[in-house]
Amino acid sequence: MKRLRILLADDHPQILTLLQTLLEPDYHVVGTAEDGQSLIAAAQALRPDVVLTDVDMPVLNGIDAVRELHKLVPDCRVIVHTSHCEPDIMAAAFEAGAAGYLIKGSSQSLASSIRTVVGHVWQAQESAGAGATAPSRRLSRPLETPSSLQRL
């Protein structure tokens, strides 16, 4: 089975290194970016299956980067991985085209979250509890939460 190709974006190099270490056993990390503009360029060049991006990044923030990626690399699934749990930021991410939203430090395994997101729109249960139900009302596609997360 072909491993999914992942592109990581975060403005903290230590986070990028940690994410790559966590994901490499299950996925092929094809590149990293430390700002939104570099993320878009890398995604266009590398054509990853999945992008995992933070919101707070220099040059171009993660939400605007998601919006551009959705237009320029439409086959790529984007997961926002951030410390922000505010409903308006979550809604903005989904409206921009994010397929998933995961709070940093979530109890949900990052690797299994990526598997879940491929083919679905998804948010971690921790996010859902933070009042993030609004995006599903604004999306043209359904918002799904894996049944296995209902126990968290």
- The backbone region for 38, taken as left when phi is positive above 0, alpha when psi lies in -120 to 50, beta otherwise, is alpha
Percent of the chain with pLDDT over 90: 54
pLDDT, tens only, 71-106: 999 999 999 998 888 899 999 999 999 998 888 876
The residues pairing with 29 across neighbouring beta strands, listed in sequence order, are 6
Does residue 68 register a pLDDT over 60? yes
Q: 3.40.50.2300, 3.40.930.10, 3.30.1490.190, 3.40.30.10: which CATH number matches 5-151?
A: 3.40.50.2300
For residues 66 and 96, the answer to whether their CB atoms sit within 8 Å is yes
pLDDT of residue 120: 52
> Residue ranges of the domains in the chain?
5-151
Whole-model pTM? 0.76
Confidence of residue 116 (pLDDT cuts 50, 70, 90): confident
